[in-house]
Homo-oligomer: A and B are copies of this chain.
Amino acid sequence: MAGTYRYRIGSRDIDASQHARLCTMGDLILGAAGDDADMSGFGVSDLNTGNASWVLSRMAVELRRLPSRGEPVDIHTWVSGYGRLFTTRNMTLAGVGAGGGAGEQFGAAVTLWAMIDLDTRRPLDLSSLSNRAGSLVDREPPVGRPLKVGPVDGVAGSSYTVVYSDIDFNGHVNSMKYLEWMVDTLPAGALAGLSSVRLDINYLHEATLGEALTICPAAAAATDTGVTHRFDIRNASGVSVCRAAIAGSAR
């Protein structure tokens, strides 16, 4: 369960600065996870036959730049461990060198995944996967593991009702949609001017079609090197469904 997958930043992936959006990079990272799981016969399609699926629980992403239009990106990914509830999948992101070989690494990610039963929507015990231990790669995560984002002192901002285009193959809100809603509360270009960014995002509850959500950004907090933005998204019962922190370093 390790491989390298090449993607190309297309016209749909970029913003007015001609660079990929943070959400696009998340899409590609999750796409590489899916592609590699598929290659190993352990992807969502395989799991669906047993009425199970992978869901993202936490993700950390660090990027030193956002690639530009037309640029190829190689994402190398490997699974480094199984716990009872979560499996850890890692990624490094690199450009492509002049000869088509490996270019400079500009980012990395660590993702934690749970396996759920598609009827009960409850997590399954991954201990039964111990027979797949041979597929683990004994290489440490390339960046700090995804942090738990604690309660966010967020101001209840815009409310939003989940629509068809937000729903993914698991029948719930696409992981990157939450991030999109969060980033869209920032001034446009707030992330473009940064020299590096670290995202920690926690998925706490599912949200489904028609649900009313409230996007709650906290006031930006200055740090030694830049600024941290924290967000909470709550459902109609006031329960947090997704929290995230985006820490940026200024140029």
Residues of A at under 8 Å CB distance from B? 10-12, 14-16, 18, 21, 23, 27, 30-31, 34-35, 38, 44-45, 69-70, 163-165, 167-171, 174, 176, 180, 183-184, 186, 188-189, 209
Contacts and interface: CB of A to CB of B under 8 A. Distances in A.
Contact of A169 (B18, B45, B169): B18
B12 A174 contact: yes
Nearest to A189: B164
A168 B31 CA distance: 21
Number of copies: 2
A229 to B, nearest CB: 13
Contacts of A176: 12
Contacts of A186: 164
Contacts of A30: 11-12
7 contacts: A10-B27, A10-B31, A11-B34, A12-B30, A21-B165, A165-B180, A188-B209
A30 B180 CA distance: 22
B169 A69 contact: yes
Contacts of A189: 164
A42 B209 CA distance: 42
Given A12-B174, A188-B209, 11 more contacts: A11-B34, A11-B168, A12-B30, A12-B168, A15-B164, A15-B167, A16-B169, A18-B45, A45-B69, A164-B184, A167-B188
A44 B14 CA distance: 13
Nearest to A18: B169
A23 B166 CA distance: 12
Contacts of A69: 44-45, 169
Nearest to A43: B70
B38 A12 contact: no
A31 B12 contact: yes
